[in-house]
């Protein structure tokens, strides 16, 4: 247990957190950055990124986040691998307590805790999570070499994961509850052009089926909601990609949140309902949720924190 004091405390190590760190460090604010349990943030659960400016070909998200971390450290951001579990924004310096029982006192705080994957919340999903069901193709796709897998969802994440999984899997079935995909057109085209991918529209997962001892996923029972027909498709792996929820439980009762739990910020600003506390990236962005936007937002939060500290 230790006590740390800083002008700026950054919570989170995604594009928003690291960019806030780079800007705050270059402004002479000697920021402390607490990485959280998912170092590099949610982006690292996508395998590749093509739309982050500065790269003329697909880049590994792990590599991108590694570069951001090194850039932040190069400018003097002190990174601590710990997770904030308690905050008190009622008085200054603000106080945050970590899972490792460290205490962080800071004159301003930048929250960049991002958002997390959602699950379908059916009982068989809970049973097979980690035993065939995953929310991260980058992490787990490799285990399904030459096997049949399924992806659930119709957004960009689902489309990217489905395409990525064709690098390993024998076949990929994309299961989507509507008759149109939400994914960008370029990704939809990639899906349709890939002979390994089959799309099941208007379909929902009723049950994940597999062996009990050891726990092992083998198939998915899916139902077509238009004609009510069910079928069982073979799948050794299932990747749930049905969106995200903001990581804001920690701030309930401390900061103003919107109906979906995202941190509310002032128009054109990262300022939260508490003066000196700023929010950046996906934790305050239910609409765009892009790495580049999160990074820009981190820069904005650091500039605003610097101006706040000058007063």
The CA distance from 105 to 15, in Å, is 23
Catalytic choice (82, 96, 121, 136): 136
Site for ligand NAP in 37-66 (CB under 6 A): 46, 51
**Minimum gap (Å) between residue 190 Cβ and ligand NAP:** 11
Count interface residues toward ligand NAP (CB under 6 A): 20
Site for ligand NAP in 161-220 (CB under 6 A): 177-178, 182
Interacting residue with ligand NAP among 25, 163, 242, 280 (CB under 6 A):
242
The CA distance from 136 to 144, in Å, is 13
Name the residue nearer to ligand NAP (CB basis): 106 or 235.
Answer: 235
Q: Which of 75, 79, 65, 114 is nearest to 9 (CA)?
A: 79
Q: Is the dihedral of CA 207, 208, 211, 215 positive or negative?
A: negative
**Minimum gap (Å) between residue 177 Cβ and ligand NAP:** 5
Write the CA distances from 21 to 5, 71, 185, 211, 303, integer angstroms.
16, 9, 34, 47, 11
Residue 284 in the binding site for ligand NAP (CB under 6 A) = no
Taking a C-beta distance cutoff of 8 angstroms, is the pair 45, 136 a contact? Answer: yes
Q: Which of 244, 223, 242 is nearest to 232 (CA)?
A: 223
Name the residue nearer to ligand NAP (CB basis): 154 or 276.
Answer: 154
User: Catalytic residue at 140?
Assistant: yes
Residue 154 in the binding site for ligand NAP (CB under 6 A) = yes
Interface stretch with ligand NAP, choices 14-22, 83-91, 132-140, 154-162 (CB under 6 A): 154-162
Name the residue nearer to ligand NAP (CB basis): 61 or 108.
Answer: 61
**Minimum gap (Å) between residue 136 Cβ and ligand NAP:** 12
**Minimum gap (Å) between residue 17 Cβ and ligand NAP:** 17
**Minimum gap (Å) between residue 229 Cβ and ligand NAP:** 18
Write the CA distances from 103 to 18, 97, 112, integer angstroms.
21, 5, 18
Residue 109 in the binding site for ligand NAP (CB under 6 A) = no
| 230-234: strand order across its sheet | 203-212, 215-224, 230-234
Residues forming beta bridges with residue 246, ordered by sequence position? 115
* Tokens 């990074």 sit on residue: 295
Burial of 207 from C-beta contacts in 10 A (0-12 / 13-18 / 19+): middle
Residue 243 in the binding site for ligand NAP (CB under 6 A) = yes
Catalytic choice (82, 140, 148, 285): 140
Which residue number has the CB closest to ligand NAP? 155
User: Catalytic residue at 139?
Assistant: yes
The crossing angle, in degrees rounded to 10, of helices 61-74 and 15-26 is 20
Interacting residue with ligand NAP among 113, 156, 297, 300 (CB under 6 A):
156
User: Catalytic residue at 189?
Assistant: no
* Tokens 């929902």 sit on residue: 204
Burial of 117 from C-beta contacts in 10 A (0-12 / 13-18 / 19+): middle
Contact residues: ligand NAP, CB under 6 A? 46, 51, 120, 152-158, 160, 177-178, 182, 241-244, 289-290
Q: Which residues are designated catalytic? A: 136, 139-140
């Amino acid at each position: 247990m230790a006590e740390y004091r800083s002008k700026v405390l950054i919570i989170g190590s995604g594009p928003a957190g690291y960019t806030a760190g780079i800007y705050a460090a270059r402004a002479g604010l000697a920021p402390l950055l607490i990485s959280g349990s998912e170092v590099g943030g949610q982006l690292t659960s996508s395998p590749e990124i093509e739309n982050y400016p500065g790269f003329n070909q697909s880049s590994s998200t792990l590599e991108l986040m590694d570069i951001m971390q090194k850039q932040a450290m190069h400018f003097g951001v002190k990174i601590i691998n710990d997770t904030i579990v308690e905050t008190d924004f009622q008085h200054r310096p603000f106080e945050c307590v970590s899972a490792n029982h460290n205490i962080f006192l800071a004159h301003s705080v930048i929250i960049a805790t991002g958002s997390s994957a959602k699950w379908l919340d059916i009982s068989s999903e809970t049973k097979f999570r980690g035993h065939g069901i995953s929310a991260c193709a980058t992490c787990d796709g490799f285990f399904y070499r030459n096997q049949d897998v399924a992806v659930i969802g119709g957004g960009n994440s689902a489309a990217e994961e489905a395409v990525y999984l064709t690098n390993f899997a024998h076949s990929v079935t994309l299961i989507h509850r509507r008759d149109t995909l939400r994914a960008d057109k370029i990704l939809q085209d990639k899906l349709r052009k890939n002979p390994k991918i089959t799309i099941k529209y208007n379909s929902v997962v009723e049950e994940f089926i597999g062996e009990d001892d050891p726990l092992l996923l083998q198939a998915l029972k899916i139902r077509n909601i238009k004609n009510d027909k069910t079928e069982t498709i073979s799948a050794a792996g299932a990747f749930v990609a049905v969106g995200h929820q903001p990581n804001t439980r920690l701030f309930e009762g401390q900061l103003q949140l919107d109906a979906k739990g995202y941190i509310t910020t002032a128009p054109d600003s990262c300022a939260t309902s508490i003066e000196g506390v700023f929010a950046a990236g996906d934790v305050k962005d239910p609409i765009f949720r892009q790495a580049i936007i999160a990074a820009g937002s981190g820069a904005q939060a650091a500039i605003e924190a610097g101006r706040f500290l000058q007063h």
